[in-house]
Amino acid sequence: MFSPIKNTKVYEQVIAQIKDMIDKGILKKGDKLPSERNLVQQLMVSRASIREALRALEVIGLIECRQGEGNYIKTSFQDNLFEPLSIMFMLEGSDPEAIWELRKIMEVEAAGLASKRITCEQLSQLKEITEKFMNCGDENINAEIDKQFHYKISECSGNVLIFNILKTVSTLVDHFIVDARKLILAHKENKEILFNQHNEIYLSMEKHSSAGARKAMREHLDFANKYMKKEN
Amino acid sequence: MFSPIKNTKVYEQVIAQIKDMIDKGILKKGDKLPSERNLVQQLMVSRASIREALRALEVIGLIECRQGEGNYIKTSFQDNLFEPLSIMFMLEGSDPEAIWELRKIMEVEAAGLASKRITCEQLSQLKEITEKFMNCGDENINAEIDKQFHYKISECSGNVLIFNILKTVSTLVDHFIVDARKLILAHKENKEILFNQHNEIYLSMEKHSSAGARKAMREHLDFANKYMKKEN
């Protein structure tokens, strides 16, 4: 199954071999990896190197180590996968403008895709979220609903990459723009404006209008961004 | 600087603390991490745990271990960063459509931004790349020029996040669509079409026309995508 390893950066080669077996379809989602001892024998490297490689794969979110059971290829990867991306964003991200620009591009297009791909079930979920907006007086809950709304739209884009990147980007935007809604809602008249903007996005989903969805999302984000700039 | 660690999954917490210091701006690109021994003392965990955490960060592409010098936060992260992403795609049975969709969105918008932000120097570099297209008979070199062209455009977007994501997405597209150009150029008349499309993109940069750049890039990518589908 595996073949012995020769070179210097041992753990890298352990990973390369595991990756290769995934590429060839020998290892699949949910599969159990050979035991550490087994890997030591097959690859002829130290147990420490095997462990380093396995830990790295665990950090990446590719495998999970179940206590007493062994190591398994995960069946779902979204959670940890974009961890490295978010760290990079932190290191590169002295520039909130760049993050906001990326978010806008991705979210406007996600809305466009979602309008075409949204299912009946998703549409009624989105309707429910939208209706909660006006009916709730608690701003903390409203802020949460706001997040859910945007999260749902990117999910409905049907593109798992776009969904994951937007998720990461949103986390970062939240990081820079703490309580964005509070800044906007310092002006009372904005509550209705915000509701109308979200409702407009929802209605374009109902009509499956890609152009409408992109326009409504762009207007909403431009509005929010303008406010944040003004207040900061 | 660091604080002692209590819980079970020790290496995860080592990573979390390093991440936190990056988040707070205490650790920056190119910075040297404390020595392994130092980390052992500060975090009060075993050397093995420290090493596991460092290896994982190395695999992610966040730090590099320089022989005899110590561990440094990298200054450029593109190379390894999307390693986990490419592995995920292998496991997910890989949906090239999703990757292509993401690439198209990002690259069309990158072209739009580039048209507004491109400097005189970048413009003349892009002109040089564009002119090489028609004058070169060697397809291997042309394929390389093609890559350079797209790379330059995303660089000129002036958004380092967009640039990095596009670079890694392109790598993924290359992985699935081997020798895309060869497929297109199996039809002789396409050589001129490809040149004209790239030239059109270049000209829109010269005019600093955002709408023109986005349109030209979209047409180019749609053309390429259609061909690949037809041939596969």
The whole-angstrom separation of Cα B222 and Cα B228 is 10
**pLDDT per residue over B28-58, tens digit each?**
888 999 999 999 999 899 888 888 888 878 8
Write down the pLDDT at residue B176: 54
Is the interface score ipTM higher than 0.90? Answer: no
pLDDT tier at B147, thresholds 50, 70, 90: confident
- Closest to B100 in 3D by CA, of A56, A215, A132, A113: A113
Per-residue pLDDT, A49: 85
Map out the domains of chain B as residue ranges.
10-75, 91-231
pLDDT bracket for residue A84 (50, 70, 90): low
Positive or negative CA dihedral for B100, B102, B106, B109? positive
- The Cα-based distances of B147 to A105, B140, B170, B214 in angstroms read 23, 11, 9, 18
Q: How far apart are CA B220 and CA B166, in angstroms?
A: 16
pLDDT over 90 (residue B175): no
The total number of residues shown for chain B amounts to 232
User: Is the pLDDT higher at A225 or at B71?
Assistant: B71
* pLDDT over 60 at A108, yes or no: yes
| pLDDT of B232 | 44
Radius of gyration for the alpha carbons in chain B, expressed in angstroms and rounded? 22
Are residues A29 and A74 in contact, defined by beta-carbon separation less than 8 angstroms? Answer: yes
Provide long-range contacts, Cβ within 8 A and 24+ apart, for B5-12.
Answer: B5/B43, B5/B44, B5/B45, B10/B45, B10/B46, B10/B49, B10/B53, B11/A55, B11/A59, B11/B49, B11/B50, B11/B52, B11/B53, B11/B56, B12/A59, B12/B53
- The domain made up of B10-75 has a fold known as Arc Repressor Mutant, subunit A (1.10.10)
Band (B14; pLDDT cuts 50, 70, 90): confident
Instruction: Report the amino acid identity of residue B201.
Output: I
For position B156, what pLDDT does the model report? 97
Q: How confident is the model at residue A232 (pLDDT cuts 50, 70, 90)?
A: very low
Contacts of A175 in chain B (CB under 8 A): 23
Max intra-chain CA distance, chain A? 70
A100: left (phi over 0), alpha (psi -120 to 50) or beta: alpha
pLDDT above 50: residue A82: yes
Q: Average of pLDDT values for A155-176?
A: 79
To which H or E segment does residue B73 belong? Answer: strand B70-73
Share of chain B above pLDDT 70, in %: 82
Closest approach of chain A CAs to the CA of B111, in angstroms?
12
B88–chain A Cβ distance below 8 A for any pair: yes
Runs of H (alpha helix) within chain A? 10-23, 36-43, 47-60, 78-81, 83-92, 96-117, 120-135, 139-156, 160-176, 180-185, 190-206, 210-231
Helices A160-176 and A83-92, packing angle to 10 deg? 40
Instruction: Take residue B126 and report the two structure tokens written for it.
Output: 């892009």
Average pLDDT, chain B: 83
Give the pLDDT band of residue A26 (cuts 50, 70, 90).
Answer: confident
Cβ A214 vs Cβ A222: under 8 Å: no
pLDDT tens figures, B60-102: 778 888 888 999 988 776 555 556 666 666 665 557 788 889 9
Convert B173-190 to b/e letters by CB count within 10 Å (16 or more is b): beebbeebbebbbeeeeb
What is the model's pLDDT at position B152? 95
User: Which has the closest alpha carbon to A2: A153, A52, A15?
Assistant: A15
Give the helix ranges, DSSP H, for B72-209. 78-81, 83-91, 96-117, 120-135, 139-156, 160-176, 180-185, 190-206
Q: Which residues contact B161 (CB under 8 A, 6 or more apart)?
A: A89, A92, A93, A98, A99, A102
Q: How far is A106 from chain B (nearest CA, A)?
A: 8
Amino acid, res. A203: L
DSSP string covering B8-72? S-HHHHHHHHHHHHHHTTSS-TTPBPPPHHHHHHHHT--HHHHHHHHHHHHHHTSEEEETTTEEE
pLDDT in tens, A41-62: 998 999 888 888 888 788 777 8
- Measured in angstroms, the CA of A187 and the nearest CA of chain B are apart by 31
pLDDT at A211 (0 to 100): 97
Please state, in angstroms and rounded to a whole number, the distance separating the CA atoms of residues B24 and B21.
Answer: 5
Which site among B105, B163, B210 would you substitute to test the A interface, given the most A Cβ atoms closer than 10 Å to its Cβ? B105
Which of B27, B59, B73, B172 to substitute to test the interface with A, most A CBs within 10 Å? B59
Record: contact B22-A90, CB cut-off 8 A: yes
Select A10-79's CATH number: 1.10.10.10, 3.40.50.150, 1.10.3210.10, 3.30.70.260: 1.10.10.10
pLDDT-based confidence at A3, cuts 50/70/90?
low
Q: What pLDDT is attached to residue B7?
A: 46
| Maximum average pLDDT range among A26-40, A134-148, A156-170 | A26-40
pLDDT over 70, % of chain A = 82
- Name the CATH superfamily, with its identifier, for domain B91-231: GntR ligand-binding domain-like (1.20.120.530)
What is the topology classification, in CATH, of domain A88-231?
Answer: Four Helix Bundle (Hemerythrin (Met), subunit A) (1.20.120)
Does A62 contact B at CB distance below 8 Å? yes
